[in-house]
Amino acid sequence: MIISRTPFRISFAGGGSDMPSFYRREIGAVVSTTIDKYMYIAIHPHFDKNKIQLKYSHTELVDAIQDIKHPIFREVLSHYNLTGVDLNSIADVPAGTGLGSSSSFTVGLLNVVKAYLNRAVSKERLAELACDVEMNKVGSPIGKQDQYAAAYGGLNFITFYGDESVNVEKIIMKPEVKKQLQDNLLMIYVGGKRSANELLKEQQEIMNSSVEFNIQKQMVQQAFHLKSALENNNIDDFGRYLHEGWLMKKSLMNGISNGYIDEIYERGIKAGAVGGKLLGAGGAGFILFYCPVEKQDLLQKSMQNLHEMKFGFDTGGSKIIYMQEDI
């Protein structure tokens, strides 16, 4: 048996500029970090070498790769013509909650399959393969930031270019300031579950509008400014960056927020949060708040009817955490 562990991510600034409809016209850029919530994928030989068994939110037992219903499993196993295996996935957080779970799944699956086939793979190549599977083979209307975040791990400034190249730059901070940043962040689960594909497809389409395209350009500039602030160990304006980015994101289109989410967000601001944003494409999942530690008791009391998910920063990216030698 071989097991991969791949982190989920939270995006701070520049989200949406990692989509082809934007970066093929202007350089895209995001600031994001991975967190210590993970996707685990295990692989081992199936008892019947002529069958494939998959266990995720459903269980599939098939005779041929083309019979697999799960599109990412099907495309990855087809690419490597891999049969006679049993694959299991387990996640710390449900899908559809804005933490890039789909791409963490794809990166983790590719990593564990590569290890099963005794093939080395770099973090860069792992991210490239995941993008190809999700965007080209499956045809999901998504961007590239989640795959690179999951593969590399850590706090990064990621840029996207029209020639399809991607650059991942680690943001280096003083450890004590980075710890303070982590401690000042809270994640509140607002519930719901949505498919990001519908919102992202609409976001691709609205990039044809000069107004929305210019808003996205402002979000990219914000990512550059936030990178500079963090590298200078300045987190004083971090909450303001989140708040301004959230307002810009909401202005792009309907469906990113709703009355319920807005009410929770405003409740958090009144309770002491400096800023925040809904993570992911929108509509459901987690609100990330930036709130100084000394004010967090009040914020937590204001959110006592909701679930707070404790988390820390991850630094390692996708890893093989277990490998049985005699598979």
Alpha carbon distance 31, 220 (integer Å): 9
Alpha carbon distance 282, 254 (integer Å): 10
DSSP string, 286-300: EEEEE--GGGHHHHH
Predicted pLDDT of residue 96: 86
Q: Do domains 2-172+314-323 and 175-309 have the same CATH topology?
A: no
The answer for 233, left when phi > 0, alpha when psi is -120 to 50, beta otherwise, is left
| pLDDT at 205 > cutoff 80 | no
Ordered by start, the domain boundaries in the chain are 2-172+314-323, 175-309
Predicted pLDDT of residue 197: 60
For residue range 108-139, list pLDDT tens digits in order: 999 999 999 999 999 999 999 999 999 999 99
Predicted pLDDT of residue 194: 56
| pLDDT at 82 > cutoff 90 | yes
For residue range 134-188, list pLDDT tens digits in order: 999 999 999 999 999 999 999 999 999 999 999 999 999 999 999 999 999 999 9
The CA distances from residue 214 to 3, 36, 70, 223, in Å, are 43, 34, 37, 14
Question: Does the pTM of the predicted model rise above 0.85?
Answer: yes
The answer for 279, left when phi > 0, alpha when psi is -120 to 50, beta otherwise, is beta
Both tokens of residue 192? 């719901």
CB 248 within 8 A of CB 241: no
CB 16 within 8 A of CB 249: yes
For residue range 257-269, list pLDDT tens digits in order: 889 999 999 999 9
Predicted pLDDT of residue 236: 93
Predicted pLDDT of residue 147: 98
Pairing of strands 275-278, 319-323: unpaired
**Residues 6 or more apart in contact with residue 126 via CB below 8 angstroms:** 107, 110, 111, 114, 151, 318
Predicted pLDDT of residue 324: 87
Predicted pLDDT of residue 203: 64
Task: Give the type of residue at 183.
Answer: D
Task: Give the type of residue at 157.
Answer: F
CA-wise closest residue to 111 among 49, 180, 53, 41: 41
Tell me the pLDDT band of 191, cut-offs 50, 70 and 90. confident
Alpha carbon distance 317, 123 (integer Å): 8
Predicted pLDDT of residue 228: 98
For residue range 24-42, list pLDDT tens digits in order: 999 999 999 999 999 999 9
**Pseudo-torsion of CA 189, 192, 196, 197, nearest 10°?**
170
| pLDDT at 198 > cutoff 90 | no
CA–chain centroid gap for 265, Å, is: 21
Per the listing, tokens 């807005």 go with 262
| pLDDT at 195 > cutoff 60 | no
Percent of the chain exceeding pLDDT 90 equals 86
CB-CB neighbours of 250 under 10 Å: 18
Predicted pLDDT of residue 173: 98
Alpha carbon distance 121, 110 (integer Å): 9
Predicted pLDDT of residue 202: 64
| pLDDT at 54 > cutoff 90 | yes
| pLDDT at 65 > cutoff 60 | yes
Predicted pLDDT of residue 57: 93
For residue range 299-327, list pLDDT tens digits in order: 999 999 999 999 999 999 999 999 987 65
Pairing of strands 307-309, 285-290: unpaired
| Topology given in CATH for the domain delimited by 175-309 | Alpha-Beta Plaits (3.30.70)
Show the beta-strand stretches assigned E in the chain: 2-13, 28-45, 52-55, 59-62, 85-91, 155-160, 166-170, 185-191, 275-278, 285-290, 307-309, 319-323
| Topology given in CATH for the domain delimited by 2-172+314-323 | Ribosomal Protein S5; domain 2 (3.30.230)
Tell me the pLDDT band of 254, cut-offs 50, 70 and 90. confident
Predicted pLDDT of residue 295: 95
